[in-house]
Amino acid sequence: MTVCTLASSSSGNCTLVSHGGVHVLIDVGISLRRITAALKQLGLTPGDLSGVLLTHEHADHIIGLGMLVKHHQTRFYAPNGVAQALCEIVPGASSCLVPFIAGTEFSLGDLLVTSFVTPHDTPESVGYRIDSGRSTLAFVTDIGCVTQPILNAVLGADVAVIEANHDVSMLKNGAYPPYLKRRILSERGHLSNADSGLFAQRLAKSGTRKLILAHLSRENNTPRLALETVGTALIAAGASVGGDVLLEAAPADQPGRIYIV
């Protein structure tokens, strides 16, 4: 199994997971044009997709869905609450929709997908654990805090894509209006670099060997700062960054590395 982020920031999010002939996108928060161009770099087309897993209905996670449905009839999977919202937002969505109950599991080809509830400022949102039978990927972004259900779902994953959205000082001293700062800092907002570092410690201790920091804010974070903060936390927990644990940040608006899970 492999994973490659195609875009990862507050402006748009899309990640490709592949195993054998199964190719799945997690979120489609960029245009179909950008999705097509990114897939082409990897030797794929939108027609090769087995499906799309959606975490929630915010625009930076679904903006490309309408065109995928219109031009490719791509099947997409979403928890019931998100599915209901998407049917109202995206024309023709119901014909390609596969709804599920958050917290349940289902198969996509040879991949076993387990969903889990995440705390975000939407009526419903989820993260995903994906098992190939030989390795496991955890994907969890857009969370205000790390809950026990999240830990239960992701600990022990071989590779984890986790949120490191903002530096608290940059956010508090930045130009965002007070209501938006409160929203981001809340337990249903976004994960800070410091909290991502604590999360990374738990993952590393559970056996995770590759950590990809995702959904970094352009205004309130930098890749250098996120990597330094999370890396310092890992070292404090006794992990060797670059040895025991590979730590990297996903590029904001272009495909990143292909990671073998």
pLDDT in tens, the chain (261 residues): 999 999 999 899 999 999 999 999 999 999 999 999 999 999 999 999 999 999 999 999 999 999 999 999 999 999 999 999 999 988 888 899 999 999 999 999 999 999 999 999 999 999 999 999 999 999 999 999 999 999 999 999 999 999 999 999 999 999 999 999 999 999 999 999 999 999 999 999 999 999 999 999 999 999 999 999 999 999 999 999 999 899 999 999 999 999 999
pTM of the model: 0.96
For 125-192, where are the alpha helices, taking DSSP H only?
A: 148-154, 168-172, 178-185
CA–CA dist 169, 165 (Å, integer): 12
The strand order across the sheet containing 105-108 reads 105-108, 111-117, 126-131, 136-140, 159-163, 210-214, 246-249
- For the chain, the first-to-last Cα distance in angstroms comes to 5
For 43-167, where are the alpha helices, taking DSSP H only?
A: 59-62, 65-72, 80-89, 148-154
Q: What share of the chain is helix, strand, coil (3-state, %, to 5)?
A: 35, 30, 40
Phi/psi-derived region of residue 185, left when phi > 0, alpha when psi is between -120 and 50, beta in every other case: alpha
